[in-house]
Amino acid sequence: MTMLNATLSSGLAQFESHLPWTPYFTLAAVSSLLVGLLGTLYAYFFPSGNDANKIHALRGFSAVNAWMFFNKRYDFLWSNFDKTGHDLFSFKVLHHQVVAMSGDEARKIFFNEKKLSFLEGYRLLRGGVGHAIESHGSLLNDRDIKAEEDDSTIMFKQRLLKILHRDRLQDVIPTLFSDISRCMENWGAEGTIDPFKDIYDLVFQMTVRMASCQELATDPAMVQKMGDLYWKLEQNATLVSLLLPWFPSTARKTTRQASKGLSDMVSHYVEVRQKADVPNLDAIDVLIADGADTPSIVHFVLGTIFAGVVNTGMISCWVLLYLGFNNACKQKTIAEVQNLIAKYTNTSSSEPIHQRLSTAPISTWEDEMPVTESVIRETLRILGSGTPLRRNLADDLRVAGKTIDKGAFMVYNSADVHLNERFYPEPLKFDPDRFNLTGEDDTQGKAPFLAWGTGRHPCAGMKIAKLEIKMILALFLYRYEYTLVDQSGKPAKQLPQLDRNTIQKKKPMGEPCYLMYRKVAE
């Protein structure tokens, strides 16, 4: 999906940007930042008029625009689209031009133009600034622009597809169901859970299982430690740590320690598997057999975990919230799960439901759950207000009658489609049935949908993400009755509202919302 691809790239960049690098770059970096500051002051006090033939440039302090972009991205983009009245506008991050885009033509070019680099976009705008300080001490410039995909990136994708091969997924389904069941058993027969803690923990366990090895995945203490380190990285990815990674802040120290802790942990388990007498089919062993060295395996494991946890966890949580507030839709989803169980499992068996569900063929999960598929799709549509990033590698790129300079960064907010009434009437309404229409009524089913990737960057992890979400939903909906409650345990009066400015863990705004559950089946 677009979100997963974006998170994968940004996760790797974030991880790399926190690794130690030599302090003598600091003076050069400060010099570059001072030059940028002087440019900002000049632009503020001596603003140039906007040329109608050029992309509209935001005025004011570029530092303020950069802060808003990193901290209030959704509000920043749409308030400026509204204020300027343009489909394109530009602003500065340090001394780099960033072009915000909207509209049909811009969308098609953004996702399909081969001269727009996915990797270069995320290199700067999601944590790669520190990593971008080259040995000569200057910040990114046009000479630093890389080709769209280098050999290591191509190899990463090839290995990901190998790990996510259909036969391997079929083999690992029973183990994943055991992981889900064990996590749920720890909740007890009834109680209250915070989905943005407990469901995320469950997804973290599944992702570690898929991306690493049995020795790590079956050690609860180490999985917990890995999760703690991961969330330290997440919580300390501040604007200062992204733009000024050399600044001696507490966040910088914490992220360096967390990055080293994660790297050392995965390296240890790679060494364990390298010394094992008998190889197995775990991800690390597959990579070892593929000839990957230890740093490459560490890079792969952590990148995959970063991508999988954020997106699969987020979708799983919000699906449960939306279903909890839409009983008719919830009952249709439960009925679909019950039909799957009746059709593909031994209903007279005394085995627990997670073992029975694990016998269903993978084709069932992929092709025979249209209700759940629509629920996931509609959840993604409403959540899908993320901002994919690109960098222009072309000398002369024309968009909507304007020219985008080589080296400029480009951003496109998915809400331009997903929350657009032209494509999706009543866009904030949760209505999975909008994707189940046929014939002339099927306008929304044919509308642009970006969450699983589109154009030149389809989501490599879409199938495993969908599979894991459906597995979690199937077991949870069959085992438990649940309602949404507030902090005091009273029924929630309204559906929580999404904070569209959060980049990673999309938690609700305002009062927390919990799931009050009661176990009704084993």
Q: How far is CA 11 from CA 240, 259, 432, in A?
A: 17, 11, 30
CA distance 417 to 291: 42
Q: How far apart are the first and last CA of the chain?
A: 34
CA 512 from centroid of its chain's CA atoms: 22
CA 218 from centroid of its chain's CA atoms: 25
Contacting residues for 331 by C-beta, under 8 A, at least 6 apart = none
Phi, psi of 484 (to 5 degrees): -85, 135
Phi, psi of 310 (to 5 degrees): -60, -50
Q: Is 513 annotated as a binding residue?
A: no
CA distance 228 to 309: 13
- DSSP H or E run through 402: strand 402-404
CA distance 53 to 51: 5
**Secondary structure in 3-state letters for 78-89:** HHHHHHHCCCEE
CA distance 419 to 248: 41
Nearest-10 crossing angle of helices 327-344, 370-383: 140
Q: How far is CA 362 from CA 55, 167, 175, 465, 470, in A?
A: 49, 9, 14, 13, 11
Hey, how many other C-beta atoms are within 10 angstroms of the C-beta on 314? 25
Q: Which residue has the tokens 């917990």?
A: 224
Alpha helices in 113-194 (DSSP H): 118-125, 151-163, 166-185
Residues annotated in a binding site: 459
Q: Which residues are annotated as a binding site for heme?
A: 459
